[in-house]
Structures are given as C-alpha cells and as structure tokens.
Structure 1
C-alpha cells in the first residue's frame, strides 16, 4: 500500500473533464497554495476515456495528472463502472438493471448497471485494465477508489435470477433442504424443481422472509464479487497503490463489512446537515457514521467526500454552512479516525444534475467565505500532520452492528416506531454525550480489549454469537442486551424457545409475554424511585437468576421487571426489556464506565463532543463545539493546545463551531 495512504492530509474532488483545460493550471496552483495534498479524479469519466468500444482517449487525463504532479499534488483514480457510457448501454442493454415490477433503470442518472451483468464485467474490466496499465507507474498516482457509492440495486434481470438460483443450489444442495430452511410449506410455496427458484418478482413485502433475507445475502455476495474482480486488476498492475471505496448514507442495506473485506481501508462521504433544526441530532448521527466507517476495517479511514457548501440538486438546497461549520465537521472526522479529508468539490458545477451541490468555490470562480475557512483548515492540518500521523482512536466500549439484523427487521418490522439503526443511534448518542469513546463493530467480530459491549436487538441469533457474549461476560465484561433478541434462527425462522432464546442463560430471565407499544410511551421506575419514559416495546419479564433494577409503573404489567442485571462469571449481563429514554441510558453507562475505570467527560454541553487519538508518544484530545452556541467545558487538568500552541487552563471556552486539540501523555 502506498505510504501516503496513512498521512493526515486534505484533498479535493476535481473534474477536469467538466472544465476548459485553460482553467486546470490555475486550479492546481491555487490548490497548492491553499495546502491541498491530494485530488480524486475520473469516477464518472468513462465516456470521455472511451468514446466508443475500444476507442480510448487518455491524453486529457494524462495532462491533468501530469499537471497535479508538477504541483506535488497526489492523485486517487476511480474505476468508472458506476456510469456505463451510452454507447455501451445501447450496444448491450442487458447491462441495465431490471426492477421488481419489470421496469428498466435507464441511463441518464448513475448507477445504471447490474452487478451481475457479464457485458459490464467484460467492458468494465477492460477499461480498468487500460487505466491501471497506463497509470500504475505514474509517480503522482497513489491509490484507487472502486466504483462510487455502492448500494443495493435489487436487480431482477434474467442474469440475476439465474445466478441466484445457482447461489441457492450451492447453499442448500437439495430442494428438500431448501424447502425446510425457507419454510415454503406455508401458502403452498414448496419448490418441486430448481427451475422454479428465482428472484422475488413483483416486490411484494408479503413474500417469505427467509427467502427475502437470502436474496439480500446473495446481493452482498454479488457486490463483493463485482468489486473483487476490479481489485484483482488493480493489485496486479498497481501493486504499490491502495484500494478503497466511498461508502455513504447510513444505514445501508449493503453489508459494509463484507464489501470492505478486500479493501485496504474504508472511506465515507460525509455530508453533515447544515439546517438549524438538525443541530441537536446531526452532530451525533455524524459521530455514529464516522465510528461505523472506522469499524468496517477496525482501522483509520478516509473521508472521500466532505461537505464544502450547501447540497441541493434533486431536492431543495440546504441552508448555508454557518461560519466555522465546514472546518468543525472536518476536524470531527479526523478526531474519529479519518486520516485524509477530501472535500467535495473544488468548484460548484455549472452543468448537469449537481449544479447546486455547492463546492468550495461558487460558479463565479471567485473564492469566498467557505473557501477561506477551507484554507484555514488546510493550514491547521498540514501544521499538525506530523503529530497526528500514526495516532488512532482506542476504545473500551463497543456497539455491535449487524446488517443481517437490519435487513431481517426491514423485511418484518416489529412495531411502529422501532427502527434498528435509530436505536443504535440512541445508544451511541448516550455514550457520546458522556464522552465515552465507542467502537461500532460487526457483530461477529472478536470482543478482546473491550469492557462494555452493547448488543442491540439480536433478533437473528446463532449459538456462536451467544457463546461469544457468554465468554466475554464470564471474563469480566459487561454486556447490554435489548428486547427482540433471540427471536429467530439465522434462517429467519422463529426459534421455538422462550425469549430471549439462546441468551436466556447469560441474562438470567425469561420473557413471559410482550406488549408492542410502538409510538406510545410508558413509564418505568428504578430502585431509587426515579421515573423514566420508555417506548416501542415492553417485555414482561420473569426472573430466573437475574436481579430487577427497573420496573414498569403502569398498564396491566405494573410492578413487573423492565430492566434486569445478571451476574455471569466475573461480569454482568443487562437485559433491557424496553427502549428507555436517553437519561436512563446515560445513568446506566455512567455506572458501568465507573465500575470499569473507563474515562468519561460527563456534563458535556449539548453539541459538544470529545474524542481521543492515541499514538506511541502522545495522545490528542479533540474538543469540538458542533453547535451555534458558545460553550465552556471543564478539562481534567491544564493542557497544551497543539492547535493554537498555548496552554489551556481547566476551563475551556469554545465559540460556535470552535475546536481545540490538546496534547496528553501517551496512554498505556
């Protein structure tokens, strides 16, 4: 992997094909003066590189890359398969995806390609072969982005149907096993021949949930295979370059972890919402998205597109970024483990669908307030790059995230108002407001090194995962399990066990009945007599070794345990039979963080976040006011600000969107 992949640096997305070549050198010169170190090129430029089948035009791209090299700006190239050119879709219309209703996704937008299309594979790999051979040895090129913003297409074309049938054959072997594992006897859906197996035409949400979950798993495998074929070409021709992909817009039905497995590191396209009415939630949703991205590879990552101005195109334009907003949220990404921040885009487009997705410079081509803020950020990052290089977030709390749970609960929503990812947000927000650093990791990953693990709604559950959580708790860890856990086997069929199924032993409880209260709210009371509001779901719990620590305070189950804790080996397992408000979660997390000696920053003002990046010689505490109000926070001791090169006393004042970075001794 290229040595520049791990540098802390700032870049921009640039489209030389959109601008007259007379502008290129002035743009490159201004980038250099501003402190830009890297540009991303060519993700949508297939038609400009190959105007018709086998007719290539790389001279313009040669010129652009050579120009950036002249100004010592590094280049990340993209495989262009997100936008097959019109000559190709005319030549091979079977590249285009077919929707569940039989309609075709036509050219003119982007992403108009089926991952399983053999023509796309042939022509796509051919252009990638040409690009990698041509630029594999260019000194400016350091890495590659695959495609652009993968998502689940749910293609129902003949190629997908045939491939899905073969996938099902490999997984189940016999029709008898398939009928058993999908439960097809319901509604007389049994298969008597393999020719009857295909994609779920029609798109009805009433189709077999085991079948639909497997169709999602099939698509995950197809995207992995599609990307791997591209990565194989890149690694063969560019062995010293890194490979990444720009994930986007969480939650994604796409399995991030499976798609990320072959990458050197993950990337994310980060567009925090600029609207004033989003300021109480946006910074926390953003913090979760950044932690999710870091968890894809469990290492530092890149931001491949960072907000530079108001987004707008096919939707009404957002509010202008408040002064300091662009800089603050870019620093938030670095604080959470981003090593490179690539802003989208250098100049706002003057043509095409993204004309009002504002970049750093407006179409007037006169740099303004946003550009000045970006230049300030570039200078700060370049000044601190050497200190921050080699540092990374290191946490003792983790939330388990599962795309299989996400998809299964999408297929069969449990109750109005219950959303798997939104619940993950609630747990993560409570931890973030306490200043407790948290990893978000794939639910099957090892738990070594953690002290607290939150496992929301393990609706699908295997014996392996249950055993992993038991081992973690027995060794002294704290596990927090929530309602709707242990409901089903991994084939999406209900487990004939009392809830929480395979977790009954470690939780020490049994769910006798449940009340899906949805958008209604109920009240629980804890041992100290304090009341808290809860929503979504109420498990009616009987104790089988656990201790009740909160009880329902109304309805026919008033006085019944709502939250329990069970001593298990040297650790503890909590069970949340309902979804408590934030105040309750903060109280629970505070108690467990204190018990485990986990560093906290309780009492953070609304919108203020802290994050720690640690290295061998020092640690850096990022203190970020991601709000429009000034705030003060109390530090554990006086510290040296490496951002402003001055000593900070124990009380730190931050203006709206103010940032500081404090140097601490290296963590053991």
Structure 2
C-alpha cells in the first residue's frame, strides 16, 4: 500500500473518459493524444453498470479490458469508478426498492443518475456481486491504481420502507427506549410523544414545523447510511485489491452530507471542481472556490484529488455558462494544486454527443477537432509534469484553521435564526478575509478536530449545537496558548438540538470571558460597530449584547440601536492564550482589520497589499531549511501588479529575487500578472 500511496501523492494531470460512449475506433487515437498532452491518469466506469452487466448475472468486461489495456500501453494509469450511482433498468424493474422514495413521496426514476437508495438491500446484494468481480478482475492489472466509490454522494431524504425501518433501528440503538427518545427530543410539545416504534417515519418534504431534534437525528442517520453504503463497497474491493487506493468525489458545497464521517473510510478525498465562469462571479467565485478546496483538504487533513475539473462551458439541464477565457483552465488547476490537490482530473476528454450532458463541454468540442482549450491543457500538463518532482510530498503550509460543522449547517437550516444569516456564507466571509491577506488556513470538522495546537489561530463560527467534548477541546486549546475566535450563536443547543438553560455561550462561557445578557436578531438591518480606535463599521444579522468579565477587553462596541455603547467584540486572556468573541457579523473590512491585528500579535505571516482577485499559497514539506513554493495566482480578468511584501515577525520583508519555476530566472518584488496569470516561486522560509 505504501508505494501506491506515494504514487497517488505525485502531482499530475488526468482526464475522465467514457469508452462505452464512443466507437472503439476512436479509443486508440484518444489514448495516444492523451499521452501526447501529458495526461497521467484516466478515470473510467462510474456510470457503466448496464454495459458491465447487461442482464442479471451476465457480466461483460471484455470491452473494459480492451480500454484499460490500451491506456496501460500508453503509460496511463486508471482509476475505476464503482457504478452503483446508476443501477441498470433491468435491476430497478426487478427490485424497485432500489429507487429512493423522495421526501415529497415521488419515486426517483431510473435512467437519470443517483437513482439508488443507500438503504436498499437489493442494491447492496447486486452491487457487491458486481464490485467483487470488478475488483478480482483488475486487482493485478498494472494500469489500475485505485477506485472511486459511486459518484457525488448527497442527501436523499428517502422515505422508502427500508430507509424508514433502518431509521427506527438507528434510533433504537441510540436511545434504547421510547421513554428516553421522547424525553431527549422533547416530544411532549404538541402531543408528539411516540408510544410505538412503528409510529416513527422519515419526515415529509413539508417539515418546517417538525421537531428539530427529530430532524437533526434523521440527518445523522443518513450520514451513517452513506458511510455504511460506502463501507461494504470498500470491503469488496479490499478483499482483492489491498494495494489500491480508494476515494470518492465529493461535490457542490455547502453539502449537507457529513463528508468528514464518510471520508474516514477513504484513503484520499476527492472533489469535483467547477469554478464559475460567469462575469458576475469573477470577484467572488475564486474565493468560494478556495474555501471548497480547503474544505476538501480538511476531510482527511491531507492532500486530495480533483476528480472532475472544469474543461469548458457547463450546461445541459440549465443554460450554459460562459466559456472559460484563455488562461482560465490553467489558473484554476494551479489554484487547486496550490491548495493541496496532488492530481487534477479534467471532466471530460471530449464533449458528449449523446445523453443529458451533451453541453457540459470537455477539452475537445463535438467537432472532435483539438482547439484552444486542449492546447491550454497540454501546456498546463507540461508545466505540472516539469514541476512534479519538486512538489511531490509537499502540502499547504498554514498556521490558522476554521472549524466547519455539518451539524451546525443542518441545525441552522432546520431552524433559521435571522433573515440573511447563513452558516456557510458566514464561513465564506471569515475564510475570504483570511485569503485576501494571504493567510492560509485549514478548514476542518468542528466535532472531531484534534491537533489544534498546530494552529496559532482557530476560528470557530456559530457553534450552535455544542458538544461537551468540543467545548473541552477548544478550552484546552486556548488555555495552552492558542488564539480562539468565537462568534454569536455559540452554545445555544445541546447535542440533541435542545436549547440549554444557561447563559450563552453556554459550555464556552468560562473560556470566552463573556456572557450574553440579551440578543437581537438584526437580520438584514444594518447596525454600527465602533472600535476603540475610532473606526466605524457596519454589522448585521445578529447582535449579542455582551456582559464582559472583569479581565475581558472590549475592542468594539455597538454604535447604534437601543444597545449603543454596549460591548460587541471582546478579547479575553484565558490561561496561556486568549479568546475573541464576536457578538455580531461585521463587514469584511472589519474582519480584515481584526485578522491583521491577530496576525501581527501571533507573528502569522501575511501579505498586506494583495490586489482583489490575487491569491497566494505556500506549499512545502514543512521541515526547517527545506524550500517551499509560493503560488501567486491572478484569478481575475484584469492585469494585476502584486507587491511580494510579506509581513512577519513585526517587519515587512520584500520577497525580491525569488526563483521563478514557470517563467525561469529571478523575479522582481513587483510581479506583473496578466488575466489568469500564474507564478510559482521557490521560497525558503526563515
């Protein structure tokens, strides 16, 4: 396994290819062209069940043998997708329990994709049989290096009979008795108490007024169902392929599915990355994309794969996006690598001429004439292959972390707190402010995050459902010297999504050094935030009116509303560290100022003058004296001049004369980048 793990850590480019969609006469020409353009990896198979098993128990792998043999002859490695995302019609006709019953009662129809209930026993039986044969057949094939389980998991909220029965079993294992369940959920409200287990069924689509504890547990049950659905597939592969790596391609953030829980069984996480090409997204999209990449890295707390990367204009069941401009494909692939992607697989090699995704464009258009995008991809692959030996074994070097929680995301979706207050959008705001300062950060799971002592700063937004273990872990972190930043709506609920009868922020009150005397859900109304230095900023969404401890420093107060003059933001010395508490959601300029102050106090390096749209990332081995690699990316449509000035240890360092790995030669500290321009600079941190 160790050799294979090292192999998938190699920085390389790949493509998605569907041999079953194309005349076999095209295959060799395509494989030869892939090798010529610098491709190293090909993903196949994730939708091909009907070709692998056209009728019950009749398996046809000869076509796949020929395709994989062909890729191997051209030096291309292969990742096989297990095809459980698309059960064939003969199977769903024979076993309709495979089709999910959606929350509105409709049956998810076959012939689309994702038409499989994670709880279906028939799907498991037939899927395991197929995967066992696949794994056995390709366990020793020299071109096959790994497996992708299924495709793009999501929350189905299935109301099928098996899902309902499994949900009741899940609840029984958790609570043991209906008496305890009724007590923990508080079902006495509205006479909702259960007297028989059979009375518990999954919630309908119109569940706004349902018990919030019930709804959160139904989400947790689905997380476990997906993890179990994945586990039997992994076991089937491992029986025959102990040295192959296994991944899954997560997608579309914010994602209700608990990706950290599902990711535990994987060797490496993967993400399908489609940065938005629309002009109106040009100022926000690259920052949202940076968060998606950091969040994917956080699933396993290590480097990851991009299993689908944008290659052309997406579209099919929605109007097409704008075509990526020259440089776009290259720049966003380098953004992924800068933030920890080791392999970037582009979707797809050629635009489909059949099926629903005909206008989800690939590297080559329907004409089958290689054009601008394939040329850009080939140039990109050449750059990546040239730098791969230097980047092998490196990772993003960061000193800050943001805690992200699927439980908070779901609980705050169940019970929205104020108009315009969105958990994931607020995480975007904190992450964007750090990114614009060039401060790299890990985005990691709040409920399972350990090793926090590795970070100088931990931002923990809206810990609304607060577990005792999480509160203890964060308190220890701050007490041992860390800087912890908490926000409003912390400590509101216990682990069963029930409000606690104690002053907020609940279990973190001692660590925060404040209590919330009163709060006002501001929503979209705008209040004023006044700093002690005389600055004025806008704030909205929420206003905690704070009662600081005697040792707490008030660093900002409300400047308007009936609570003008009251504490809004505090800093509290706790043990050897400190805790900041933000009682409101301030505008980005305030977050930038606050993070700048924290960076200077904690000696966290940052770039004070990055232009809008320019991102920097540092990737290296982490050992003292080793070189690191500074990625400078202009993810905008305009020319940018970047001052390579790094503030650290209380002084401004001019990063002049760094070695350019893409352009060659030494760079001036004033770096000029064209639209979607990229530089990778060799840098030796002190």
Instruction: Within 5 Å, give how 1:18-33 maps onto structure 2.
Output: 18-33=21-36
Q: CA deviation digits over 1:395-430, x for unaligned, max 9?
A: 110000110000000100101101100000000000
1:100 to 103, 106, 115: 103
Report the equivalent of 2:449.
Answer: 445
Residue in structure 1 matched with residue 601 of structure 2 by the alignment: 595
| 1:152-551 pair list within 5 angstroms | 152-201=155-204, 203-443=206-446, 444-446=448-450, 447-545=452-550, 546-551=552-557
Per mean C-alpha deviation after superposition, the further-off stretch among 200-209 and 456-465 is 200-209
Deviation at 1:322, TM superposition (A): 1.1
1:660 is aligned to 679
> In structure 1, what is the Cα distance between the partners aligned to 2:81 and 2:323?
29
Partners of 1:559 and 1:594 in 2: how far apart? 27
CA distance in 1 between counterparts of 2:99 and 2:479 reads: 52
2:65 maps to 62
Matched, 1:566 2:572: yes
1:45-74 alpha-carbon deviations (Å, 9 max, x no partner): 000111010111111101100100110100
Unaligned runs of 5+ in 1: none
Deviation at 1:100, TM superposition (A): 2.3
Shift of 1:103: 1.6
Separation of aligned partners in 1, 2:146 and 2:678: 31
The answer to whether residue 658 in structure 2 is matched with residue 639 in structure 1 is: yes
Question: Quick check: 1:114 aligned with 2:114?
Answer: no
Query: Using the alignment, how far apart are the partners of 1:469 and 1:170 within structure 2?
Result: 29
* Structure 1 residue 596: Cα displacement: 1.1
- Stretches (4+) displaced over 6 A: none
Please list the CA deviations of residues 565-615 of structure 1 after superposition, one character each: whole Å capped at 9, or x if unmatched.
Answer: 111112111110100011110111111111111111111000000001112
TM-score, normalised relative to structure 1: 0.99
Displacement of 1:653 = 0.8
Q: Secondary structure in 2 aligned to 1:548?
A: strand
Give the TM-score, by structure 2 length: 0.96
Secondary structure of 1:648's aligned partner: coil
Cα deviation, 1:292-329, whole Å, max 9, x if unaligned, reads 00000000000000000000001110001011001000
Using the alignment, how far apart are the partners of 1:463 and 1:214 within structure 2?
Answer: 18
How far apart, in 1, do the equivalents of 2:172 and 2:526 lie? 46
How many residues align? The count is: 667
5+ residue gaps, structure 2: 645-653
* SS in structure 1 of the partner of residue 42 of structure 2: strand
Matches within 5 A, 1:70-149: 70-149=73-152
Q: Deviations over 1:195-232 (max 9, x none)?
A: 22222245421100000000000000010000000001
Determine which of 617, 621, 638 is the counterpart of 2:630: 621
CA apart distance, 1:76: 0.3
Cα distance in structure 1, aligned partners of 2:273 and 2:204: 34
For residue 559 of structure 1, report the CA deviation from its aligned partner: 0.7
CA distance in 1, matches of 2:420, 2:105: 32
Higher alpha-carbon deviation: 262-271 or 537-546? 537-546
The partner residue of 1:649 within 663, 668, 671 is 668
Distance of aligned partners of 1:322 and 1:32 in 2 relative to their CA distance in 1, 3 Å threshold: same
| Aligned-partner Cα distance in 1 for 2:428–2:312 | 25
Q: In the aligned structure 1, how far is the partner of 2:410 from the partner of 2:312?
A: 33
CA distance in 2, matches of 1:315, 1:199: 31
Distance 1:198 1:495 in 2: 27
- Secondary structure of 2:54 counterpart: strand
The Cα shift of 1:502 comes to 1.1
1:563 Cα deviation from its structure 2 partner:
0.8
Deviation, structure 1 residue 475: 1.3
Q: In the TM superposition, what is the alpha-carbon distance from 1:194 to its structure 2 partner?
A: 1.8
- Pick which of 505-514 and 360-369 moved more: 505-514
How far residue 642 of structure 1 moved from its aligned partner, in angstroms, is 1.2
